[in-house]
Structure 1
């Protein structure tokens, strides 16, 4: 009978939902509240990410990463021409764009991430490191897939070679069998 009050309490909590959460915004480690962070994110509309504005740093880079993931080849090529330059923020933005390109671009993206990750602001480094790790994971999976396809091709070539060898041996066996029959027939006729 103690199960019924527990179920009633769970149903009340479920029905109340977010109404039970405090109305005061949560305090973030940086000292800002969640509402202040949301307000800062709404004002961040830069098309190209930069290291300039601390309030817009993460929202701009996340938005650029999502745009890179969704972008097609034409978008990526246009963005890469706009991101020319030797500045670390430009190189890291190129790395983000290249990391969602073709497999041939992944190596270059990885090199850019590794070369300039330490030049990024401390608040941005975990995100960039996460993207680098994700890229390295995709590169490793592509490498394993390539190795598996190569092994399968070798296996198929070996199988074809063995089938050909087996067919040759069957022909030789048939020829030997025919010779043996011929010898047996001669011996029978000589007797």
Structure 2
């Protein structure tokens, strides 16, 4: 039963990931599909290289999306370095700093996921209105991953419990079988 639950959770996770990948194509610039560069390509590259802040409205979404992708692709070392840079960057508001931390922590360990979710919850309202839908999407996606991880942990715990109960029942069955065999031997003896 628990194996079936884990299998269903995996299938749902893969199906959800596939749906996200396929549904995102409509948001790509048309020029990206054609293999040509848009006329404002240098600004787009500059925006992606910029630190995620609330300051530059033209780079608001591209810089946060680029930072989110870097966080997703980054490892623990990248995350530590990014968190250090976030803490030492001058002129950032608390909301900018905490939301950037949330993005970086979103792809860390499960313990960091909880911290990231709390940061999203506490500071998303302070972000510019244009950025809030993206932050809410990331928070919901993170909560979905946390939920799947909890379900997986619960299923493993349930499986362990069922295996333990099965082992106990097997021991009891062996003891009853031994008692039954002993009783049969006594009845056969004159």
- In the superposition, the TM-score normalised over structure 1's length comes to 0.74
Asked whether 1:91 is paired with 2:94, we answer: no
Report the RMSD for the aligned CA atoms in angstroms.
Answer: 2.2
* Equivalent pair of 2:99/2:120 in contact (CA under 8 Å): yes
1:91 to 1:36, Cα distance in 2 relative to 1, 3 A: farther
- Displacement of 1:42: 3.0
**Any unmatched runs of 5+ in structure 2?**
1-29, 31-37
Deviation of the 1:40 alpha carbon: 3.7
After superposition, the Cα gap between the structure-2 partners of 1:47 and 1:176, relative to the gap in structure 1 and judged at 3 Å, is: farther
The structure whose Rg is larger is 1
1:61 maps to what in 2? 64
1:80 pairs, out of 70, 80, 83, with 83
Q: What stretches of structure 1 of length at least 5 have no aligned partner?
A: 1-24, 26-34, 186-191
Question: CA offsets, 1:97-121, max 9 Å, x none?
Answer: 1000011110000000000000000
State whether residues 47 and 63 of structure 2, in contact with CA within 8 Å, keep that contact through their aligned partners in structure 1: yes
Kindly tell me the number of residue pairs found equivalent between the two proteins: 152
Partner-residue secondary structure (3-state), 1:84: helix
> Is the 1:68–1:97 Cα contact (8 Å) retained in structure 2?
yes
Out of 123, 129, 137, the position equivalent to 2:136 is 129
Q: CA deviation at 1:83?
A: 1.6
Distance 1:43 1:67 in 2: 15
In 1, are the aligned partners of 2:51 and 2:63 still within 8 Å (CA)? yes
| Structure 1 residue 81: Cα displacement | 1.6
Q: Work out which structure has the larger RCO, using CA pairs closer than 8 Å and 6 or more positions apart in sequence.
A: 2
Structure 1 position 138 matched with structure 2 position 158: no
For residue 166 of structure 1, what is the aligned residue in structure 2?
173
**Whole-angstrom CA distance in 2 between matches of 1:169 and 1:61:** 66
* Deviation, structure 1 residue 37: 6.7
Partners of 2:105 and 2:173 lie apart in 1 by 50
The residue number in structure 2 matching 1:106 is 113
